[in-house]
Structure 1
């Protein structure tokens, strides 16, 4: 009985997340947190554009609240809108944006290209975008497309510093899974050698080189430029 209730609650949360993602796509929906209290059910929404989520005079909030009561059976829902801090570094927000583009029947190539283009102009330490599923026409084979960029931690305790966003788009051709891992700028890893450390080490190496060795470096540089 407890297991059934747990599964039922988890499934309902997925439905609610999907509901908000579709209705608040223009507001840049990122996530939802449901907190039950004795008096009401508090629903905290994280969005990139709070003004669009709230609507004129709170009209959109009232509409969403009514739907939660009538369609999903949530008693006394109270919505709280929170802005996303640095949306360009929020993995789930970016994934939701990709899913929104795919479900609007844009080509997966154009959606991925736009997302990667925006990610590469930020100061991220690194990211890895993976999409897999029915990327081509209906009835085609499942495919996967991976875009790695910069530094990415994949093992050890420091993996907790990697931000992860996941989701699935349901298109005409079938389901497409989206996974994005990113490392925000300024994240420090003890085992990662910084660019300054490398340059400093190279400078020290050059300082102890003989004149003949330095001439060899100049020769190699000239050959490289040809």
Structure 2
């Protein structure tokens, strides 16, 4: 990883921030900037030129959010964000998409995002998909991570499915060697989870066999967060190393 890496992140809800990878990136002297879409007035049009020049970003990290990628009527900046993404990805530059971020990349590249049969909220087990190409990002055979989603992405054309589980088949994908899209939240920390759980209105919309009670989530042991955090750090190193950043 080169020094003074220019990292930009797209943030869709207040308080989420970078999660676990912030300290990892700061250790490598990364210069971190952000676009805070949530701070824009809902009725304000966003011009594409208000976003960074794609050439000025070495690594893009797209965070999660409570909205749907399809809700452009209520969040008009989604259309501009997807247009910018297409420009950025057309240059073959490194990108990481987390939950809504993974859905946004898939959708910007023509993949549908729709309601999943099961909602997922809480700690779940993910399986590595068998027989992926040998040069793809390496995952453990099984690992536990935090889920928080109602929708699922279609794997975009040319992408490789990397991980799955029984509740939601498409859990992680790879495009080339520069893009990794996650359905789950590897960046989650105890502090970020507390912020998520404070949003009682959102939690109230979740139900089903793959939704854990809030009082159980509040008691999550700190060591539960480590595996996902490590996978995210390794994912960042992978897309940067493979693209000589």
TM-score (ref. length: structure 2): 0.24
Higher relative contact order (CA 8 A, sep 6+): 2
| TM-score, reference length from structure 1 | 0.25
Please tell me whether Structure 1 or Structure 2 has the larger radius of gyration of its CA atoms: 1
| Structure 1 or 2: more helix by fraction | 1
